[in-house]
Chains A and B, each alone.
Chain A
Amino acid sequence: MSAYDDLVQRYQERIYATIYHMTSNHEDANDLAQDTFIKAYQALKSFKGGSSFYTWVYRIAVNKTINFLKQRKNRAQMSLNDLDFNAEHDPDLVALISDKTPRREAGLAELQEKLNEAMLKLSDYHRLVVTLHDVQGMSHEEIAKIMDCNIGTVRSRLFYARQQLQSYLSEYLK
């Protein structure tokens, strides 16, 4: 069990973050991330090693999250995490808000909310591609493995999702 504890600690942040960015809800992300690791432990015998353990756990997390979102559908409720201290000093983010708002913190909080609202308007699969690529920095190949589709599909979903986000957030991207 202690070996599995090490495994959980190694992947917990990335798995939690993926689920959190998909749901925009800390409590849901917490439950689903725990369920993911429990399911992975119970299914360890069926892990054949065809993919890396990391990809395999990710697939479990993604499937669980998408099933959850299908059931939740129209009752999405955001429960956003706080921004860390570094957000205020990120030059890219500062450039986006400094012209618009006199108070930087209020500007970031507002931007965070609008961004999450826009993300939730995307379909589950488009949101997943944006999360894995633009937020978590994964390659197209890794995403294709996790989503069990080809790289072309990943690219086209990413392009469409970005277009959608750009139109939802146009007033913040001028």
Chain B
Amino acid sequence: MSTGTEDFDKLRKLLKLKRHEQPPPGYFSRFSGLVITRLEREGESDGVLTDVPWLRKLIRLFESSPVAAGLFGSAICALAIYGVTIANKTQGVAAVALAPANGVADANTVAFSTALHSDTLASSTDPVFGSSALASPFVANGSLTPRLENVTFSTSPR
């Protein structure tokens, strides 16, 4: 193999042309300023992350490796889908458990089961109860704390 300079003399002269390609005037006087500004801006935005080293490492890993970021995203999606599937199954089991054993459902069970399986909540423009109706003589101050009082019975002889 010959790498003699004379073989490529003209080519090397032609390649000198590339040395004359220069960026716009003043470009290099601004360049370092742009780099420092970007560094300072990134330093500010990273301020929160510096307190959490493992999170910072994780973000760096994702920045340097798109594959790792993709895998992490896929894992999160898979977990979310799994969670939704499990939740749906659990709701199905709850509805079955509420159904009476003899197959005759009372009105409350049917209503509850329907609400579980419907996407929208049933609503009415006519309120069934006013706020005053919620007040109960058995409930103190509107809370659901049961009130216990001693009661004595006496029987009088006839």
Contact = CB atoms under 8 A, between A and B. Distances in A.
B84 to A, nearest CB: 35
A111 B23 contact: no
B40 A81 contact: no
A1 B14 contact: no
A96 B42 CA distance: 48
Interface stretch (B29-37, B72-80, B127-135): B29-37
Contacts of B87: none
A82 B22 contact: yes
Contacts of B17: 83, 87, 90, 93, 108, 111-112, 115
Given A12-B32, A96-B10, A96-B13, A34 B38 contact: yes
Interface string A1-40: 1001100110011001000110000100010011001100
A21 B60 CA distance: 29
A5 B13 CA distance: 35
Q: Would you call the interface of chain B mostly helix, strand, loop, or mixed? A: helix
Contacts of B3: 155, 158-159
A92 B34 CA distance: 36
A116 B14 CA distance: 11
Interface residues of B, number: 32
A123 B7 CA distance: 21
Interface in A116-174: 116, 119, 130-131, 134-135, 155-156, 158-159, 162, 165-166, 169, 172-173
B125 to A, nearest CB: 58
B11 interface: yes
B12 interface: yes
Given A20-B23, A81-B22, 16 more contacts: A5-B33, A34-B31, A37-B35, A38-B38, A38-B39, A86-B20, A93-B16, A93-B17, A96-B10, A112-B18, A134-B15, A156-B1, A162-B7, A162-B8, A165-B11, A169-B14
Interface of A: 1, 4-5, 8-9, 12-13, 16, 20-21, 26, 30, 33-34, 37-38, 41, 80-84, 86-87, 90, 92-93, 95-96, 108, 111-112, 115-116, 119, 130-131, 134-135, 155-156, 158-159, 162, 165-166, 169, 172-173
28 contacts: A5-B32, A5-B35, A12-B31, A13-B28, A16-B31, A21-B21, A34-B31, A34-B38, A38-B35, A81-B23, A82-B22, A82-B24, A84-B21, A92-B16, A93-B14, A93-B16, A108-B17, A115-B14, A115-B18, A134-B15, A135-B15, A135-B16, A135-B18, A159-B1, A159-B2, A159-B3, A162-B8, A172-B14
